[in-house]
Amino acid sequence: MCVIWGLPYLFIRVAVEHLNPGTVVFLRTSVAALLLLPLAAGRRMLRPVLPHWRPLVAFALVEVAIPWLLLTDAERKLSSSLAGLLVAAVPLIGVGLALLSRHGERLDGAQLAGLMVGLAGVVCLVGLDFGQLNLLAIAEMVVVSIGYAAGPVILARWLSQLPGLGVIAGAMSVSAVLLLPFIILRPPQHVTGRAVGSIAVLAVVCTALAFTLFFKLVAEIGPTRCTIITYVNPAVAVLLGVWLLHEQLTLGMLVGFPLILVGSVLAARAARQPADQEPATVAAA
């Protein structure tokens, strides 16, 4: 899972060289929906989800449609490595949202230290390379991270008792419908083999297969241990970007990512609940 969810940044970067972001995300979600819907229906996991369409639509918007669209657009102006590292801040935002939802509960020492260290890492990641960065793309990545952190809150509060595969199949279907205008208004004129291959990997491996494996992983080891994916997949994104796309490994990345990693581990560990109560707050790129 660490490898699979470290892949999307690379293939998104390749896809947006040939297709507009709306088309990329529509094709990714629609193909994934076509694969997941029959599987969920065959296992009778789709029908229980239908009455809960309102939180399902909210989850699809916050966790899939909006973040994936903004992430894909941002990767036209940012390296795949930097995009992956910025998403590493999701656990920090998740802890912050959890604290806010507890009506003003105070931070303990470990949480405060983790949040401060993680924030310092984000500042280093962006600040040390500031002159080389696109500010609009950075703003888009901030919204992406907030969406990835807020999605599990919706999932835990309104959808946690429903079959996971049915929720994801529904979310992909809703997202594809919401993104349909992008491909209608701006249909692709010329689709290269590289674009087709990238979309196939994003839809089949990084979405349909990834979520199927993820639910099996949660069932096997619990949601708490699954959060390690969030700490490892940005490093995979960096390695792939530097190795295959020849992206630059900058000072901001070298200094910022370790700080974000340490801060996220400290903040999340201090706030952990029993494994059967804690939602898995993993950013699925």
3-class SS string, 152-177: HHHHHHHHCCCCHHHHHHHHHHHHHH
Average pLDDT, the chain: 86
Cα separation, 201 vs 232, whole angstroms = 20
Residue 271 has pLDDT above 60, yes or no: no
Between 137 and 219, residue with greater pLDDT: 137
Q: Which among 165, 204, 131, 182 has a CA at the least distance from the CA of 48? A: 165
pLDDT tens-digit map of 95-123: 777 766 664 556 677 877 888 888 888 88
pLDDT tens profile 209-221: 998 888 888 778 7
Structure confidence at residue 193 (pLDDT):
92
**How high is the pLDDT of residue 275?**
45
What integer is the mean pLDDT of 1-19? 94
pLDDT: which is higher, 70 or 128: 70
Contact 111, 233 (CB under 8 A): no
Measured over the CA atoms of residue 59, residue 201, residue 20 and residue 84, the dihedral's sign is positive
Helix ranges (H only) for the chain are 8-15, 21-42, 53-59, 66-74, 80-87, 90-101, 109-127, 135-154, 164-185, 193-200, 210-221, 223-226, 228-244, 251-270
d(CA 33, CA 8): 17
Confidence (pTM): 0.87
For residue range 27-67, what is the model confidence (pLDDT) as tens digits?
A: 999 999 999 999 999 999 999 999 999 999 999 999 999 99
Map out the domains of the chain as residue ranges. Answer: 4-270
Stronger pLDDT, 193 or 220, i.e. the higher one: 193
Using left for φ > 0, alpha for ψ between -120 and 50, and beta otherwise, residue 106 falls in beta
